[in-house]
Amino acid sequence: GMRFIISAVMAAFAFIVSTSSISAQESGVIKIALLYPADSGVGRVFQVWARAVDSRTNGAVQLDFDWTSGDEGSLIQRMKDGSLDGALLTSSGLSKVSQPVHRFEIPGSGGGIVISSKSLEKLSKEQQAVLVETANVAAKNLTRALPH
């Protein structure tokens, strides 16, 4: 009777509330540029990283890669103006970054992955932890993938 209808409406409402709170966090796209093609060894490491982030955050955080050409200066500038959240940089590129970033050093290369602190802070604490942990793994995997 009536009680069943009320509980069904309540259940539907609860479901809407719980799903809308998830979509509110879909600011979780992290755009990272690198000067390597997608089908390179480096590109494959980044794609594995993206899959790890996607599965560990249930799709709430997506890494979006810009397989670009050009120079590191333009990547650093785009991070500054906010059109990029992060980049893969050499040691000389890293030395030119002036904004607050999280650095994930690539052992033995002097280079690293950088993600702007502002971009990381728009994620929840749990999402930040996943991104940091998986970025460290990706950076270690890049040691083998980078041309020596």
Q: DSSP assignment of 8-20, as one string?
A: HHHHHHHHHHHHH
Each residue's pLDDT, cut to its tens digit, for the chain (148 residues) gives 666 666 656 556 655 554 444 444 456 999 999 999 999 999 999 999 999 999 999 999 999 999 988 899 999 999 999 999 999 999 999 999 999 999 999 998 899 999 999 999 999 999 999 999 999 999 999 998 887 6
Helix (H) / strand (E) element for 31: namely: strand 29-34
The model's pTM is: 0.80
Asked whether 32 and 84 are in contact (CB, 8 A), the reply is yes
**Dihedrals phi, psi of 31, to nearest 5 degrees:** -95, 120
Task: Please give the pLDDT value at position 19.
Answer: 47
Listing DSSP states for 57-87 in one string gives: TTTSSEEEEEE--S-HHHHHHHHHTTS-SEE
